[in-house]
Amino acid sequence: MDDLQLRELLYQALETEVGGQLVYEAAIRCAVDDDLKEEWGKYLAETRNHEAILRETFERIQLDPSTETPGRAVVRFKGQALVQAMEMAMSEGGPAAAQLVAAESVVEAETKDHQNWELIGAAAGRLDGELAAALTDAYAKVEEEEDQHLYHTMGWARELWFQALGMPAVLPPPEEVKQVTSAIAAARAKGARDAMLDEELQVPPSALP
C-alpha cells in the first residue's frame, strides 16, 4: 500500500464531503419536485454526518484534517464549479432547466464521493491494525448511503430529462422506489422502467366503455 496516496485519498474524501454539502444546498434551491427536494435534504444531512465520521477517523488515525494537498484543491475547485453551474442555470435557464442541471451536478459530485468510499473500503481490506479497523468502521457507516446518493440521483437525472423531452417518465425513479443500493440493482431498476410505465399508463377497467 502506498501510504502517501492513501492519505491523499482520505484528504480528498474529506474535501468531497465538505464540498458536497455546498452542492446539495445549491441543488435544493434548484429543486422543483417536492419528493426530490426532500430526498436531497436527507442526503445533505447524511453528507454532514459523513464529514463528521471522517473527522473522527482522522483523529483516530492521527491525521491532520487541515493538511492541504494539490489534489484536495482540485476537488474543492470542482465542487465550487458545480455550484456556479447551478447558479448560472437558475438565473438564465428557468426552474425546470435548473433542476436538471442540479440533478446532473449531484451525480457528478456523488460519482467522486462513491468512488472515494469504494477505495477506502478496498484499502481497509488490505491493511491491518488500528488503521484497518478505523477505515472499516467508517466504511461500514457510510457505504449504503453512498450507493443511494449516486444511484437514486442518477435515476432522477434520467427521468427528469425524459420528462423535459415530453416523453413518459417514471417519477420518483425506479431506483428510488426499489431502494437500489448496488450497480447491478440500479441496472435492473432501470430495465424495469418500461414495465412501470406500462402499469402507470394502463387504462383502469372502469374507464372502458
Q: What is the per-residue binding string for Fe ion in 17-36, x denoting contact by CB under 5 A?
A: x-------------------
Q: Is 72 in the site for Fe ion (CB under 5 A)?
A: no
Alpha helices for 165-207 (secondary structure H)? 174-177, 183-191, 193-201
Q: Is 147 in the site for Fe ion (CB under 5 A)?
A: no
| Cα separation, 164 vs 172, whole angstroms | 15
In this structure, what C-alpha cell is assigned to residue 156?
432522477
Q: Which stretch binds Fe ion (CB under 5 A): 30-38, 56-64, 121-129, 146-154?
A: 146-154
Q: Which is nearer to Fe ion, 12 or 47 (CB)?
A: 47
| Cα separation, 70 vs 34, whole angstroms | 38
Evaluate whether 186 touches 151 at the Cβ level (below 8 Å).
yes
Contact residue for Fe ion among 39, 113, 159, 175 (CB under 5 A)? 113
Site for Fe ion in 33-62 (CB under 5 A): 47, 50
Minimum Å distance from CB 17 to Fe ion?
5
Contact residue for Fe ion among 9, 23, 86, 149 (CB under 5 A)? 149
Cβ partners under 8 Å of residue 103, min gap 6: 27, 36, 153, 156, 157, 160
Give the count of residues interacting with Fe ion (CB under 5 A): 7
The closest of 89, 109, 96 to 154, measured between CA atoms, is 109
Minimum Å distance from CB 40 to Fe ion?
11
Q: What angle do CA 18, 21, 22 make, to 5 degrees?
A: 100
Q: Is 112 in the site for Fe ion (CB under 5 A)?
A: no
Q: Is 152 in the site for Fe ion (CB under 5 A)?
A: no
Q: Which residues bind Fe ion (CB under 5 A)?
A: 17, 47, 50, 110, 113, 146, 149
